[in-house]
Amino acid sequence: MINKRFLKFVLWRELIIASRFGSVGIVATAAHIMVVWILLKETGITPIFANTIAFLVAFLISFAGNYLWTFRSPGSPRRAMFRFFVIAIFAFASNTLLLALLVHEGWFPPIISAVLSASVVPAISFVASRLWGFKGDKEFV
Model pTM score: 0.73
CB 98 within 8 A of CB 119: no
In a domain, 139, yes or no: no
DSSP 137: T
Task: Give the pLDDT score at 140.
Answer: 43
Please give the Cα distance from 126 to 88 (Å, whole number): 10
Burial pattern 39-66, b for ≥16 Cβ within 10 A else e, equals bbeeeeeebeebbebbbeebbebbbebb
Give how many domains the chain has, as a whole number: 1
Q: What is the pLDDT of residues 13-67, one digit of tens each?
A: 989 999 999 999 899 989 999 999 999 999 999 999 998 999 899 999 999 999 9
CA 88, 105, 46, 115 torsion-angle sign: negative
In a domain, 140, yes or no: no
pLDDT at 78 exceeding the cut of 60: yes
Please give the Cα distance from 15 to 21 (Å, whole number): 10
What residues make up the domain containing 129?
4-133
In a domain, 47, yes or no: yes
